[in-house]
């Protein structure tokens, strides 16, 4: 079963979620947040890169999914978010992982059935999907939702292409 690393990038907190599985069966492996400290953006970006690289080394994911940048009202925040995404993607690229990007609306739609769902609903659905004892922190829940969205989207694309999968989730 492929291992998927989902990342919810941020310049102060970067959420991560790691799952394995395929089709409609996914297993929770771990999740959490890379809490960034430091006075400069450069220090925080280094921490994101090191944190994501460490997760890749420890869990050996086969696929990497990350949230796309959305342009809000604050251009400065969007630029910092883009930089956080960039160093996370760099960590994936340095480890030869394929990178998949998903819009926040698509992630929410895949997990909750509503593209405009509130964070609390995403947390609740992630908790229910993976049968977690409590609600994960919002950034970790978002990262798990991104990983789950990738798994579901990948399955749908394979089915549309006519690919068949084995019981272990491999394409034949």
How many Å is the Cα radius of gyration of the chain?
16
Q: Catalytic pick from 43, 58, 96, 139?
A: 139
Q: Catalytic pick from 39, 58, 62, 67?
A: 67
Q: Catalytic pick from 8, 62, 76, 120?
A: 8
Please confirm, yes or no, whether 142 is among the known catalytic residues: no
If we measure between CA atoms, which residue out of 39, 5, 1, 36 comes closest to residue 21?
1
**Two tokens at 28?**
């929770």
Please confirm, yes or no, whether 67 is among the known catalytic residues: yes
Please confirm, yes or no, whether 139 is among the known catalytic residues: yes
List residues with catalytic annotation: 8, 67, 139
């Amino acid at each position: 079963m492929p291992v998927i690393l989902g990342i919810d990038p941020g310049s102060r907190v970067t959420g991560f979620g790691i799952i394995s599985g395929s089709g409609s069966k996914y297993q929770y492996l771990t999740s959490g947040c890379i809490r960034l400290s430091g006075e400069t953006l450069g220090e925080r970006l280094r921490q994101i890169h090191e944190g994501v690289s460490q997760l890749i080394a420890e869990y050996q994911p086969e696929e990497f999914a990350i949230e796309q940048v959305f342009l809000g009202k604050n251009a400065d925040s969007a630029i910092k978010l883009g930089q956080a995404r960039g160093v996370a993607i760099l960590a994936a690229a340095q480890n030869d992982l394929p990178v998949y990007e998903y819009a926040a609306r698509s992630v929410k739609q895949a997990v909750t059935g509503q593209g405009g769902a509130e964070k609390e609903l995403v947390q609740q659905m992630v908790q229910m999907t993976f049968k977690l004892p409590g609600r994960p922190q919002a950034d970790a829940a978002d990262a798990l939702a991104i990983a789950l969205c990738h798994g579901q989207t990948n399955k749908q694309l394979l089915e549309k292409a006519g690919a068949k999968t084995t019981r272990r989730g491999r394409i034949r």
